[in-house]
C-alpha cells in the first residue's frame, strides 16, 4: 500500500521522527517506525537539494568582513551571508518553495494504527507532526 503525502507534511514531521527515534519502542512498532523513516529520508534529502537549487537562483553568497577589533579566540576570516540577487524577489523565492512543499509524493508505507501509541509517553506536539501517518 502507498501513502500519499505532501512534502510540507514530510518536512513538518522531521522533529517528530527525531523524537520517536530516541524513544524505546516495542519490536513491531519500532520496526514500522524505522521503515517509515527509511522511506521518508530520501524524500527529505531530495527536497533539501531542490531548495538549495532554488536558493542559488535567488541568492548569492557574499563575504562580510569582520568589523572592529576581534577577541583573540574569534577567527578573523570573513563570514559569508546570503543576499538577494538583483532583480529577484523574496516573494518569488517563497512562491517556488511553497509550490515545492505542496508537491504530493507517494511513500511505500502503510498507515500506522494509533493503538500501539497508547502506552507511550509522547507529547501531542510530537504526534501533531505525523498525523498524516495514522489511520483512524
More confident residue, 102 or 25: 102
Query: What is the Rg, in whole angstroms, of the alpha carbon atoms belonging to the chain?
Result: 20
Q: H-type helices in the chain, by residue range?
A: 7-12, 14-21, 27-58, 90-101, 124-128
Q: For position 69, what pLDDT does the model report?
A: 72
Say whether pLDDT at 66 is over 70.
no
Q: CA 93 to CA 114: how far, in whole Å?
A: 38
Confidence at residue 136, expressed as pLDDT on a 0 to 100 scale: 67
The angle at the Cα of 19, spanning 16 to 22, to the nearest 5 degrees, equals 150
Does the pLDDT of residue 97 top 80, yes or no? Answer: yes
How far from 26 is each of 6, 32, 89, CA to CA, in Å?
29, 10, 49
Provide the pLDDT for residue 73.
66
Domains of the chain, residue spans: 3-64+76-135
- Number of H-type helices and E-type strands within the chain: 5, 6
pTM for this entry: 0.82
Instruction: Find the mean pLDDT for residues 19-36.
Output: 89
Amino acid at each position: 500500500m502507498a501513502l500519499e503525502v505532501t512534502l510540507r507534511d514530510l518536512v513538518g514531521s522531521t522533529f517528530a521522527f527525531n523524537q520517536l527515534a530516541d524513544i524505546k519502542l516495542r519490536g513491531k512498532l519500532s520496526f514500522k517506525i524505522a521503515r517509515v523513516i527509511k522511506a521518508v529520508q530520501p524524500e527529505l534529502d531530495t527536497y533539501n537539494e531542490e531548495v538549495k537549487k532554488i536558493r542559488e537562483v535567488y541568492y548569492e553568497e557574499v563575504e562580510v568582513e569582520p568589523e572592529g577589533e576581534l577577541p583573540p579566540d574569534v577567527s578573523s576570516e570573513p563570514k559569508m551571508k546570503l543576499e538577494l540577487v538583483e532583480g529577484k524577489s523574496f516573494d518569488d523565492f517563497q512562491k517556488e518553495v511553497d509550490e515545492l512543499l505542496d508537491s504530493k509524493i507517494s511513500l511505500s508505507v502503510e498507515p500506522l494504527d494509533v493503538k500501539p501509541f497508547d502506552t507511550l509517553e509522547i507529547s501531542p506536539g510530537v504526534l501533531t507532526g505525523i498525523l498524516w501517518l495514522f489511520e483512524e
